[in-house]
Homo-oligomer: A and B are copies of this chain.
Amino acid sequence: MRERDVMVTRTRFDDSECPVARSVDAIGDWWSLLIVRDAFDGSRRFGEFQRSLGVAKNILTARLRALVAGGVLESVPASDGSAYREYVLTPKGKALFPVIVALRQWGEQNFFAPGEPHSQLVDRRQGHRLRVLEVLSADGRRLNPDDTTVHKISTQ
């Protein structure tokens, strides 16, 4: 049974001229994003994702398959020699790192009371927190949303 043949009524954005929309479309849903987060955190096995997320197995199967099909994850033979597969980030998947970090920092700043414990992303070398992401102009100025504008269409 094929898959891409079905008529999907869910609105697609994969032909949008907006890169944000295409990204959103490619990731698929929030579960997928949390799977990617777990992959960054070191999860590789089906069961790891399943326990971490508490998602139903059939859902997880579908999401993993979609992420593999979308080139975000790659399915490789299990490193322990078992008959199973492991799911690792492709370069394209690793390129989602700033997205995850941005969401993490937004969450830290807005949804945790001061002192409330939460998981934290640190650099391996020194164990320190990361610097807050900054949006910069080509010449290095910090840009706020109001300092930017959208060119509706631009060739490259």
Contact = CB atoms under 8 A, between A and B. Distances in A.
Interface of A: 11, 13-14, 17-24, 26, 29-30, 33-34, 37, 40-42, 54-55, 71, 89, 92, 94-112, 114-131, 133-141, 143-145, 147-156
A40 B148 CA distance: 9
B138 A130 contact: yes
**Which are the 9 A-B pairs with shortest beta-carbon distances?**
A19-B107, A23-B107, A120-B154, A22-B111, A98-B102, A131-B136, A128-B138, A99-B102, A123-B137
Contacts of A23: 103-104, 106-107, 110-111
Copies in the complex: 2
B151 A120 contact: yes
Given A98-B102, A137-B125, A37 B14 contact: no
Given A115-B156, A137-B126, A147-B124, A108 B19 contact: yes
Most chain B Cβ neighbours within 10 Å, of A94, A118, A155 = A118
Contacts of A110: 23, 26, 71, 92, 95
A137 B131 contact: yes
